[in-house]
Amino acid sequence: MTTMRITINGKAYGPTEIRDELSMNDYLREYLGLTGTKFGCGMAQCLSCAVIVDNPDGSSQTMPTCIVPAKNFAGKSIRTIEGHAQNGQPSVLQKAFVEHFSFQCGYCTAGFVNEGQVLLERLAKKPVARADLDKTIQEALNGHICRCTGYVKYHEAMRDVILADAKRYVS
């Protein structure tokens, strides 16, 4: 058993006693009712379960929750899809995904939003050359499976968000 404390979208959760085999995905969805983080495959193949982990050094990365025990997230600070919009206002990236019609059934969208957001934050710290932009987006998003869209509009939205603020994201 582990005593679980975690910060999610700026809010502290716990302490809760949890089994060591409890997956992070089940902790979010069954214990906390935060079902914005999805379950698609349970094998880190689709990444519809991915959340953002914000590290103490200021870096962030996405992490699947289906194949990682909840206890590995103890003490961490994470962001889920529920935490991107502020006061009901969607983030720049969320708005872009909506306005580009990037998703259809929407089940993979939480994962794409988290991954895209991490990419933006990474590029803001270390901009990418324009010539490398497509490849960078592709590498960042390729872990995410979508069955409906063929990915094109997700990538277009990502590119457009980056190029709309090229001073920040492109070197």
Partner 1 sequence: MELSRREFVKLMTSSGIALSVSHATFAQTPAFATRETLPGRQSWNPAATGVGRIDGLAKVTGAKLYASDFRAADLPGWPANTSHAMLIRATDATHVFTGIDLSRLSGALKPSRVVTAADLATAGIRVPAFYAQADLFCPVGKTPLYLGHPVALLIFEQFDAFDQARMALRDPSCVNYGQETGAVAIAPFGAYRFVRVAGSTPGAPDVYSPMQAGWVTPRRFLNMDLPVWAPANQKGPADAQASFYGEQIRAGLAANNPDQLVLDREFQTQSIDPMFLEPESGIAWYDPKSKSLELVVGVQSPMEATESVAYLLGNARGSFKPALIHTHCAYMGGGFGGRDHTTMPLYVALAAMFYPNRPVRLANNRYEQFQSGIKRHPFKMRSRMGVDRATGKIRAFAADHRLDGGGLANFSAQVATVGATAAIGMYDIPKVDVSTVVFHSRAVTAGSMRGYGTTQVLTALEVLIDEAAAALRLDPIEFRRRNALPTNGQTMAGNALIGVTRTDEVLAKLANHPIWQDRATERARALQQRAGILVGTGVACVNKDFGTGADACLASVEVSPEGRITIRSDAVEMGTAIGTALANRVAAIIGGVADEVAMAQVDAFAPLGLVTSGDPFSITQAAQDAASRNPRWVAEISSPSSASVGAHFSTHAAFEAARVIFRFGLWPAALDLWGIAKTDPRARQWDTARWQQRKLAIPGLPPLDLASVAAKAHARGGVTAAMVHGFNRWSWTNASFKIAGETYTADIDALAVRTGTGTAKARSGSTTSDRFVPLNRTSINIPPAINERIGVAYASTCGTLVRIEIERATGSVRIANAYSVAECGQPLVPEVVVGQMQGGFAMGVGQALLETMPLYEDGPGNGKWNLGEYVVPRATDMPLNGLEIEVLPPLKPDDPPKGMAEVVMIPVIPAILNAIYDATGHRFQSLPVTQAMLKGVLK
Partner 2 sequence: MNAATRLGLLVSMTFALALAPAMSVKSAGPTATLATPESFSSIGDTAARSAALFAEAGKVLTSARCVNCHPAGDRPLQTDAGRLHQPPVERGADGFGAVSARCSTCHQGANFDPAGMPGHAHWHLAPREMAWQGKTVGEICVQVKDPARNGGRTLAQIHDHMTNDSLVGWAWAPGYGRASAPGTQKELGALLDAWIKTGAVCPT
Question: Of 69, 93, 111, 113, which one interacts with partner 2 (CB under 8 A)?
Answer: 69
Whole-angstrom distance between the N-terminal and C-terminal Cα of the chain?
A: 48
- Is position 127 an interface residue for partner 2 (rule: CB under 8 A)? no
170 contact choice in partner 1, partner 2, none (CB below 5 to 8 Å, kind-dependent): none
Residue whose token pair is 């906390």: 32
Name 41's bridge partners: none
Contact residues toward partner 1 (CB under 8 A) are 19, 21-22, 26, 30-31, 33, 35-43, 45-46, 48, 80-82, 84-85, 88, 90, 94, 97-101, 103-110, 113, 134, 138, 141-142, 144-155
| Distance in Å, CB of 81 to partner 1, minimum | 3
Cα separation, 145 vs 147, in Å, equals 7
- Is position 64 an interface residue for partner 2 (rule: CB under 8 A)? yes
64 contact choice in partner 1, partner 2, none (CB below 5 to 8 Å, kind-dependent): partner 2
Residue whose token pair is 């983030």: 91
Note whether 116 and 87 are within 8 A (CB). no
Token reading at 157: 């939205």
Residue (of 115, 126, 141) closest to 63 by Cα position: 115
- Is position 132 an interface residue for partner 2 (rule: CB under 8 A)? no
Question: Of 15, 30, 43, 164, which one interacts with partner 2 (CB under 8 A)?
Answer: 43
